Structure 1
Amino acid sequence: AAAALSAPLSSGACVVSGVTGSTPLHEVARMGGPYAGGMVSMLVGAYAPVLAADANGATALHIAAEQDSVAAAAGLCHAAKLSGEKVSLLNLHDGRAMTALDVALAAGSVATAKIL
Structure 2
Amino acid sequence: MTEVFQIATPQGVRDMTEEEAAVFAAERVQWAAAQARREIIEKMTALERTITDRIWREHARGSAVVMRFPPITAEDGFPAPDPRDGKTASEYIAWVDDRIAALRDGAGL
Q: Give the TM-score range, shorter chain.
A: under 0.3
Q: Decide which structure has greater strand share.
A: 2
Q: TM-score, normalised by structure 2?
A: 0.23
Q: Which has the higher contact order (CA 8 A, sep 6+)?
A: 1
Q: TM-score, normalised by structure 1?
A: 0.22
Q: Greater CA radius of gyration, 1 or 2?
A: 2
